[in-house]
Copies of this chain bind each other. A is one copy, B any other.
Amino acid sequence: MSTARFAKTPKPPYYAVIFSAQHTPHDASGDDSAYHTAAERMGDLVGRQPGFLGVEYATEAGGYEITVAYFDTEENIRNWKNNAEHLAVQRQGRKAWYEHYEIRVAKVERAYNLQTSELA
C-alpha cells in the first residue's frame, strides 16, 4: 500500500484548510517558473510551520487543484496565513496564478480509512 500521498494525521480533533482552485491558463501549461519556485518554497516553509501536520493535494492537467493542509490549531493556521513571505505569495497568487479559489477552514471531528471503515 502506498501511503506517500496521505497525511499522517493524529487522532481528531485537528484542523483542515481546504483549498480548491482553478489556475490561470498560463500556469496550467506548466511553464510558469515563478509559480513553481514559489510553490516549492511554500512547501518547504509550511513544513517547518509550528503545528503543521501534513498536506494532501490532487492537481488535474487542466489546472484545477484541491489541496488540504492539516494543522493542530486554528491559531497556527492564522500564523501561517500571516507569515510575511507567505503573504507576498498569496498576493501574487490572487494577481496572476489563480482564476478562482475557495478556502474553507474546518475542524476535523472524526476520521477513518479503508482499513478502519468497517468500524466507523
Contacts and interface: CB of A to CB of B under 8 A. Distances in A.
Interface in A66-100: 66, 68, 74, 81, 90, 94, 98-100
The dominant DSSP class at the A interface is: strand
Contact of A104 (B22, B99, B111): B111
Given A5-B64, A20-B68, A61-B61, A117 B90 contact: yes
| Total copies of this chain within the assembly | 2
A3 B20 CA distance: 11
* 5 tightest Cβ-Cβ pairs between the two chains A and B: A106-B106, A58-B58, A58-B66, A66-B66, A106-B108
16 contacts: A2-B99, A6-B102, A7-B102, A20-B58, A56-B66, A58-B58, A58-B59, A66-B68, A81-B120, A90-B117, A94-B117, A103-B111, A103-B112, A104-B111, A105-B111, A107-B107
